[in-house]
Structures are given as structure tokens and as C-alpha cells.
Amino acid sequence: MKVPFFKPTIGEEEIAAVVTCLRSGWLTTGAQTREFEAEFARYVGAKHAVALNSCTAALHLALEAVGLQRGELVLVPTMTFAATAEVVRYFDAVPVFVDCDPRTQCIDVAAAARTLEQIAAGQPAAGVFGPYGRVRAIIPMHYAGQMADVDAVNALAATHGISVIEDAAHTLPAFTRTNGSAPWRAVGTTAAITCFSFYANKCITTGEGGMAVTDDDTYADRMRLMSLHGMSKDAWKRYTAAGSWYYEIVAPGFKYNLTDIASAIGRVQLARAEELWEARRAVAAMYEVALAGIPGLERPTEDANRRHSWHLYSIRLDLEVWTKGRDAFIDGLKERGVASSVHWQPLHMQPYYRQAYALTTQLFPVAAGLWPRLVTLPLYPGMTRDDVELVADAIRSLQ
Ligand SMILES: Cc1ncc(COP(=O)(O)O)c(C=O)c1O
């Protein structure tokens, strides 16, 4: 590929940090991870950060911490990655899908409100039928790195007495404000628990990894406990001078801790988060210019009250112009050496959810209408103006 979909930005500092960690003799969760957590919490402005081996693990532990039980309901966007909904199924609970906003592709809060009202009235709602268990939580996801309308989500959640867990896998850093004169608020400070991903192509990476942040002491303690087999007493310390061999298992936990090798990379990446963000923003700005004259392409926009992470650069095709369709467009780019992807086929269209909940396309018209038009173009910090021009030329040659 002349322009791959993504290239991680790993420099000598990350390599040196891993080597130092390997030489230290301590590979698994330890001092590097505790430092990474403290630095991450400071960076986003949250009280606690719990380092985990994925964002999926963070979402799972977040739902566990807010007390999700079998048969209860959790509102999730249909326009999201598998993880956002599958974690609800881990509890044998019910994911209730919500359509997306036609512009931002984040959760449509008005649709979520209608669904909650229908559930409260015991009526059929968005593919689910009563009798209903309690609605425990809602998981807004920040599509491509632009924060959802968290003010509206929080207001709705307060009305219905449910928890807000943000899926911020795409989002570091990112900011939102209520209006032009309100202060900016960072992602990680606007929900009960916010979950980040450090997967290879994310804004900062540890190869695989994640973080759950919260201001709530009880949630933080519970997530930490459940991340390591439900063992009490700082189990990671048990082989250090500070620790003791003795522990108690107080709950059937999971094995979700992050290694010090990963945390060593994460600490360097976190220190570079602004630099990497600047580089992503510059690529998005280059695309804005390079794609401007091409007919039938809708480019992503940054809201006046958001600061976008630019994890993904997702365009929409006007299929009356691109009559051969999205799949042919992607194949054509590939033939010209440009990798691309699609984010996403909505979850209600995926065989498992479609069959398990008898979901139909008509229930989620916005997401269903967008998906055949979606193409995500390459975006990574090391992309050059020539790379962007090459992508634009490849698209023009498909016309
Ligand atoms: C929106 C969203 N949520 C959650 C995840 C899961 O992240 P992880 O791979 O760290 O578990 C992803 C991964 O791409 C994602 O895109």
C-alpha cells in the first residue's frame, strides 16, 4: 500500500522505555502502571484512572461497577464497534439500540429519550418488548473522536435515574462545551465512568490497552478489584517488599490488568498526546482542502462546541454521484495503493443482534441509511501532504 490505513507513531523514547522496563525485572502490573494511571488521571482531570488491557475490559468493568444485573437494560448506539454492545451481553443483560445523529453519527439523544419513555410506559421500544427489567445505563460513544452531546445524555440519564458510561475509545484528547461562553470540559470528566482504548491505531497506543476513569471512589475501587481476580489487598504488590503473600478473593473477578511493558509505552505516548493530536488535526485540515473540489463527497465537520480528536476521518459518498457504490470505491482505492475502511456496519444489522432481538433496518433509519455511504480514509500522525494528495488523486481518478 502506498498509503496504509494506519501507522503507529512509535519513536526511540517508547522503545527505550520498553527496554528499561524489560531490564528492570518487573514486567507485569507494577510501578509503571501506577505512574501511568496517575499521569492519565491528571491529564484528563479525573480523580481515578484504572489501567486495563483493553477498552472492552474497561466497558465491562464499568457496567459491573454500576451494578448491571441479568435481564436489565442498557442503551447503546447502533452505530458503534462490537465492544460497546457485547459487554452488555456478558451480563446476560439486554442492549437496547439507539439510532445515530445524521451529522455526527453519535447517539441520537432524542431517539434515546423516546425509547426510555416507551420502556417506562411498558410499550415495545426499538426492537425490545416488555416486561422490562430496570434500565441501568446508557453508553454514548464519541464517533471518530468528536464527543457526543453529553449534556443532553446526562440530563436524560438524570431524569431516568440511569448511569452514564462513555465509550471514549476514539477520543484523546477531546473537549466539549455547552455553548460559546461556557468553559471547555475534557473527555474523562463528563460521565460516571469513561473508557479509553490504547489499541494500535488509537490516539495514543500501548499496542493493546485501555483505561477507565472516574471521580467516584467506590467505582474506582470496584473496577480495580475486579480487574485482578477479585483479589483484595493490592494483589499486584504481593511479590514486592511492600506487599504480602496473603490475599483474599472477595468476588469472582477477571484478568484485565495492564502490564508494565504496555504502561511504559503508554507513559511516553501520553506525554506526546498533544503533539500527536496536533499532527492528526493537521492531516484533517489537509484533507479538508484536498477533497474540497471533489463532487459527491461529504466531509466530516468539527462542531463549534467540540474539539475533535480526529482519530478517524470518515467521509460519506453521495451514491447518486458514486453510482458504482461504496464497495467499488474502496476496491478502487485499494487498486491505487490506498487502504480504507468502514466505521461501521450498524450493530442492528449484524447477524447476531439482528437475530437475537429480531431487529429490522426500519427501526434505525439514519444509521441504516448512512452505512452504505461510509468510507474511512487513512489518518495517522505521520501522514504527509503528499500522502493526502495521493489519496485525493486516487479518489479523483475513480470519478
Ligand atoms: C468505539 C469503540 N469502542 C470500544 C472499542 C474497543 O477497544 P479495545 O480494542 O481497546 O477493547 C473500540 C475499538 O476499536 C471502538 O472503536
Give the tens place of pLDDT for each residue, 239-257: 677 777 888 899 999 999 9
Q: Does residue 35 lie within any of the structural domains? A: yes
5 domain-assigned: no
Out of 205, 239, 271, pick the residue that ends a domain: 271
CA–centroid distance, 169 to ligand 1, in Å, is 5
Asked if 265 and 284 sit in the same domain, the reply is no
Distant-in-sequence, close-in-space partners of 45: CB < 8 Å, separation ≥ 6: 186, 188, 189
Integer CA distances (angstroms), 387 to 4, 214, 309, 338, 339, in order: 10, 39, 20, 9, 12
Residues 201, 170 contacting (CB under 8 angstroms): no
Angle (CA) 239-243-244 rounded to 5° is: 85
Q: What is the pLDDT of residue 367?
A: 98
pLDDT in tens, 272-315: 999 999 999 999 999 999 999 999 999 999 999 999 999 999 99
Kindly state whether residues 253 and 284 are assigned to the same domain: no
Domain-embedded: residue 25: yes
Pick the catalytic residue: 47, 202, 237, 334?
202
* In a domain? residue 224: yes
Distance CA 299, CA 297 (A): 6
Å from CA of 83 to ligand 1 middle: 6
Do 285 and 136 lie in one domain? The reply is: no
What b/e readout covers 135-157, taking b as 16+ CB neighbours within 10 angstroms? bbbbbbbbbbbbbbbbbbbbebb
pLDDT value at residue 234: 65
CA distances from 99 to 67, 119, 133, 370 (A): 25, 16, 21, 11
C-alpha to C-alpha distance for 140 and 137, rounded to whole angstroms: 10
Q: Please check whether residue 237 lies inside any domain of the structure.
A: yes
- Torsion angle, CA of 367/371/373/377, rounded to 10 degrees? 110
What is d(CA 45, CA 191) in angstroms, rounded to the nearest whole number? 12
Domain count, the chain: 2
The rounded distance, in Å, linking the Cα atoms of 164 and 168 is 12
Q: Looking at the CA of residue 199, tell me the nearest atom of ligand 1.
A: 10
Kind and range of the H or E run holding 214: strand 210-214
Residue 375's DSSP bridge partners are: 315
Residue of 60, 108, 65 whose CA lies nearest to 84? 60
Residues 238 and 300 reside in one and the same domain: no
Q: What is the pTM of this model?
A: 0.97
The residue whose C-alpha atom lies closest to atom 3 belonging to ligand 1 is 169
Question: Which atom in ligand 1 lies closest to the alpha carbon of residue 141?
Answer: 1
1 lies in some domain: no
pLDDT computed for residue 245 by the predictor: 80
Is 7 part of any domain? no
State the virtual CA torsion across 209, 82, 58, 188 in degrees, nearest 10.
90
Examine the residue annotation and report whether 233 is marked as an active-site residue of this protein.
Answer: no
Alpha helices in 212-291 (DSSP H): 217-227, 260-271, 273-290
Whether residue 3 lies inside any domain: the answer is no
pLDDT at residue 247 in the model: 87
173 and 295 fall within a common domain: no
Residues of the chain with pLDDT under 70: 234-239
Helix, strand, coil abundance in the chain, percent, nearest 5 = 40, 15, 45
Q: What is the CATH classification number for the domain harbouring 375?
A: 3.90.1150.10
With a CB cutoff of 8 Å and minimum separation 6, the contacts of 120 are: 160
In this prediction, residue 235 carries a pLDDT of: 60
Q: Residue 56: which of 78, 33, 84, 29 has the closest Cα?
A: 84
* Same-domain pairing of 166 and 249: yes
Q: In testing the pocket of ligand 1, which one of 197, 202, 206, 342 has its CB within 8 Å of the most ligand atoms?
A: 197
- Give ligand 1 pocket residues (Cβ under 6 A): 54-56, 80-81, 83-84, 141, 167, 169-170, 197, 199, 210
Residue 397's Cβ-count burial label (10 Å; 0-12, 13-18, 19+) is exposed
For 240, list phi and psi in degrees, rounded to 5: -105, 170
In terms of residue numbers, what domain contains 157?
A: 12-271
Q: How far apart are CA 284 and CA 264, in angstroms?
A: 29
